[in-house]
Chain A
C-alpha cells in the first residue's frame, strides 16, 4: 500500500514537472522536439476522433464526413511520412552514405575553419581599401579569432562521434521523413553554431552603436525622444550634457564603419545558413500539412467531396411543369488542397515573428535586430 502511494506521488510530480513552462519550452527548442510533439498531438487527435466516430455510430447518428476525412488525412500523412523515411533510410544504408558523408563533412568543416581565420586576418588589415579604425579593428578581430579557435577545438571533440551521429540520424528515418529532416536541421544548427554566435555578437554591437548614435544625433540637433508621446521633441540641454553628447557622437560616428563591416560580413554568413534551414523547415511543414487522403478521395471517390450542385434541364414536354435534374459536383483540387490542409495541433507556443515580407526583413537587417529562421507555418 505504501509503495503504491509513493509511486503514484512520484508519477504526479513527474507529470507536473513535465507540464511546467520551462520543460515545455526546452523540449520545443530543437526542431526535432517540435516535430515529435506535433506527431504525438496528431496521434492523440486520431484516437479522440476514433472514439467520437464510434460513439456516433452507436447512437445511430449520421457520421460527419469532416471528422472522417481529417482522421484519414492525419493517418495517411503519418503513413506516407514513415514510408518515405524508410525508403530514404534504405537508400542511405545501401550506398553506405553515412561514412562517405562524415568524411567529406569533416574535411569541409576544416576548410571552413581555415577560411574563417584567413577572412578575419584580412578584415584586420585593410579590407577592400576601406578605412577602418585600426585599434577597434584589431580588438574585434582578435576577439572573433579566439572564438574560431574555440570552435575548432569543439569540432575536434566531435570528430570521433561524427559517423555514429550520422548513422543514427539515418536510422531515425523509420520514424518518418519529417523527423529525419528535423534531425538534420538540428545537426546543421549544431555545426554552424559559431556562425550564429558571431552573428549575434556583431548584431548586438551594431544595434547598440546605432541606437546610441541616433540618440546623440538628436542631442546634436537639440531634440529628445519623448517616450510618453512616442515622438521627437525639442529639449533644453545643460552645457555639460551637450558637451558629453557631442563627444560621444563623434566617437560613435567614426567607429561606425568598422562595426558595420563586421556586421555585414557575419550577417551574410548567417543568411546563407538561414536559407538552407528554411528550405528544410518548409519541406517539413509541407509533409505535416499536405492532405494526402483528401487528394486520393478526390481522385477515386469524388462523390464524398461535394463542391457544388449542377442542374440540368430534363426534356420538357407540353403541359408538364419544368423538371430539373441535380448532380453533385466534386470540389476542384484547389479547394481540396486549401480546405483539407491539416492544422497545426501543437498550440503551446506562438511562433516567433516571421519576417515573411522582404520589407520587414530588410528593415530588421538594417537596424541590427536579430533575424530568426522563417519557413515554418505561422499561426493565423
Chain B
C-alpha cells in the first residue's frame, strides 16, 4: 500500500528530495533580500568641508597658469618668482616639521640629507635640460600646446589622490601629467632660464604643496577651511587681473564645487537602490585586515 506523503513546507535544501526541480523557489524567495546595506549616509556640512580638497587643487592649477601668463607677458621676472617660491617652500618645510613633531620623519627612511640631495638633483637636472626643454616644441603650433596642457591638467585633477581609496586615483599619473603640462608650457617662454623657473615652480606647486596640505589636514582639521578659502582668494585675485571672464568662471566653479555639488549628492541619496541577497558572490574577508 502506498503511503501518502504529507505536503510539507518546501525547505531550501538540496539533500532532501522534495519532489520539486533543483531550481524551484516558493513565495519566500525575496524575504532574504536586503536593501542598501553598505551605503554611507552623508552629512551636508561634512561634505562641504571635505570638498575643499578639490577646489584647493583647482586653485593651485589656476595660480600656476596665471604665473605662466605673467612670465610670458614679461610682467613677472623669473628671478622674482624663483625667490618667492623658494622662500615659501622653505617656510612650508619648516611648518611641516613643526606640525609633524618629528613623528613621520622617524617613520620614513628619509633624513634631512636625503631631502637636500633630492633638491640638488631636481635643480641640477632641470638646469641641465632647460636648453633642450626650451626648443622641444618649437615646430608645434601654440594651439596644440595649449590643448595638450589643458588635457594634462584635467588629467591631474581627475587622477589626484583626494584622500579616498578610489581605484581611479593614481598619485604617479597626476604628478606626471602636471609636470608634462608644465614642460609643454615652459617651451613657449623666451629663454632657458624661464623654462627652468617654470618647471621648478610646477614641481613646488604640484609635488610639495599637496604633501603640506595633506599633513595640515590630518593634524589640524580646522585649517582645511582656511586653506581652501585662502587658495581660492589668491587664485581669483590673480585670475581677475588676467581675464574677468576667467575670474567669474572660476568663482562659479568654486561655489558649485563647495555648495551645489554636495547638496545635489545628498539630495540624490534616497534614490539609491542597491539590492543584496544570498545570490551574491561570496566575498572573502581577511580577518587581519
User: Residues on A close to B: CB < 8 A?
Assistant: 131-135, 219-222, 237, 239-240, 242-247, 249-251, 254-255
Contacts and interface: CB of A to CB of B under 8 A. Distances in A.
B172 interface: yes
Given A222-B172, A240-B122, A251 B133 contact: yes
A242 B140 CA distance: 25
Nearest to B137: A254
B170 A133 contact: no
Interface in B141-192: 170-173, 175-176, 179-180, 183-184
Interface residues of B, number: 27
Interface stretch (B124-132, B220-228, B246-254): B124-132
A243 B207 contact: yes
Among A244, A245, A250, A254, residue most surrounded by chain B Cβ atoms (within 10 Å): A250
Chain A at the B interface: SS class: helix
Contact of B183 (A131, A220, A244, A250): A250
A244 B133 CA distance: 13
B125 A221 contact: no
Nearest to B126: A247
Given A222-B171, A242-B175, 10 more contacts: A131-B140, A133-B139, A239-B118, A242-B207, A246-B180, A247-B133, A247-B179, A249-B176, A250-B136, A254-B136
30 contacts: A131-B139, A133-B136, A133-B139, A134-B138, A219-B172, A220-B173, A220-B180, A221-B170, A222-B170, A237-B172, A239-B175, A240-B118, A242-B172, A243-B125, A243-B179, A243-B203, A243-B207, A244-B125, A245-B176, A246-B176, A246-B179, A247-B129, A247-B179, A249-B176, A250-B184, A251-B129, A251-B132, A251-B133, A254-B137, A254-B140
A118 B135 CA distance: 26
Among B125, B126, B179, residue most surrounded by chain A Cβ atoms (within 10 Å): B179
B121 interface: yes
A243 B139 contact: no
Contacts of A220: 172-173, 176, 180
Contacts of A134: 135, 138-139
Nearest to A221: B173
Please give me the 4 A-B residue pairs with the lowest Cβ-Cβ distance, nearest first: A222-B172, A131-B139, A246-B179, A246-B176
Nearest to B144: A131
Contacts of A239: 118, 175, 207
A222 B173 contact: yes
B122 A243 contact: yes
B135 A242 contact: no
Given A219-B172, A221-B173, A239-B118, A251 B136 contact: yes
Contacts of A254: 136-137, 140
Contacts of B122: 240, 243
Contacts of B172: 219-222, 237, 242
Interface in B88-137: 118, 121-122, 125-126, 129, 132-133, 135-137
Nearest to A126: B139
Contacts of A240: 118, 121-122
Nearest to A245: B176
Nearest to B211: A239
Given A220-B176, A239-B118, A242-B172, A247 B125 contact: yes
Contacts of B133: 247, 250-251
A242 B132 CA distance: 19
